[in-house]
Chain A
Amino acid sequence: EPEVTQTPSHQVTQMGQEVILRCVPISNHLYFYWYRQILGQKVEFLVSFYNNEISEKSEIFDDQFSVERPDGSNFTLKIRSTKLEDSAMYFCASRLITDTQYFGPGTRLTVL
């Protein structure tokens, strides 16, 4: 069964460094999402992406964040200058036309 994949599974970085989290959505899916989950807290929406542009973003998704679909298969989340509070599990999700969003296994980001 097709699934969303994410790399790396765990990323450790120093505060102020740039990180890129990578996702390969399910082939032929059209809508792409990033969510995050700070330890012990709810899963929170960050951004949705459709037709090569951001369709919606949350107040968390400030100028430090950006997303890109550089080719037909990858979907990336970049954090330009990481802060301690960016430490979280980051989930990528995708969907086709139907409403079910399919989530990847997540990337655990630790900012030191």
Chain B
Amino acid sequence: KQEVTQIPAALSVPEGENLVLNCSFTDSAIYNLQWFRQDPGKGLTSLLLIQSSQREQTSGRLNASLDKSSGRSTLYIAASQPGDSATYLCAVKYGGATNKLIFGTGTLLAVQP
């Protein structure tokens, strides 16, 4: 069964710290992986999409890496700010005819001022 896991479930860091969020997937035959941010009671904001052929993608203070062979992706956030506090979700799209994203359970991040 294709599953996506995120560790840790929750993380609290002081402002300014660099941090890494982890995402693991059981089937390495992925097509792409997308990282999202979800604020309480709100929708999902796409942060980065990384294709299976790529090793990493960067946007501002965010950097996502992908290691298909080990079934892992990481989201690195540099110089964290209180405004980064949210739940971060990773979602995997597998190849073939499927369109759906398979989501992880998320990491709840709190950045303390």
Which of B32, B34, B43, B106 neighbours the largest number of chain A CB atoms within 10 Å of its CB? B43
Residue of A nearest to B4 (CB): A42
Q: Give the chain B neighbours of A45 by CB distance below 8 A.
A: 100-102
Contacts A42-B103, A45-B102, A48-B99 given: A100-B49 contact, CB under 8 Å?
Answer: yes
**A91 touches B (CB below 8 Å):** yes
Identify which of B43, B97, B99 contacts A105 (C-beta below 8 A). Answer: B43
Q: How far is the CA of A6 from the CA of B93 in the complex (A)?
A: 24
CA distance A50 to B97 in the complex (A): 13
Q: Which residues of B contact A91 (CB under 8 A)?
A: 43-44
B72 to chain A, nearest CB (A): 18
CB neighbours (8 Å) of A75 from chain B are none
Whether A103 pairs with B44 at a CB distance below 8 angstroms is: yes
B46 close to A44 (CB less than 8 A): no
Q: Is the interface of B mostly helix, strand, loop or mixed?
A: strand
0 or 1 for each of A41-79: is its CB under 8 Å from B? (1 = yes)? 111110010100001101000000000000000000000
Q: Assess the A58–B34 pair: CB atoms within 8 A.
A: no
B103 to chain A, nearest CB (A): 4
Contacts of B69 in A (CB 8 A): none
Given contacts A42-B105, A103-B36, contact A58 B46 (CB under 8 A): no
Of all chain A residues, which has the CB nearest B104? A42
Select which of A43, A44, A55 is within 8 A of B44 by beta carbon.
Answer: A43
Query: Could you jot down 17 A-B contacts, CB within 8 Å?
Result: A4-B43, A6-B43, A33-B100, A35-B101, A42-B105, A48-B99, A48-B100, A50-B99, A99-B51, A99-B93, A100-B49, A101-B34, A101-B101, A103-B36, A103-B45, A103-B46, A106-B43
Measured in the bound complex, the distance between the Cα atoms of B36 and A52 in whole Å is 28
Shortest CB distance A1–B (Å): 11
Determine if B89 is an interface residue (Cβ-Cβ < 8 Å): yes
Distance of A108 Cα from B104 Cα, bound (Å):
20
- Identify 12 new A-B residue pairs, CB closer than 8 A, beyond the known A31-B99, A102-B46: A33-B100, A41-B105, A43-B44, A43-B101, A56-B97, A56-B99, A93-B44, A100-B34, A100-B46, A101-B101, A105-B42, A106-B43
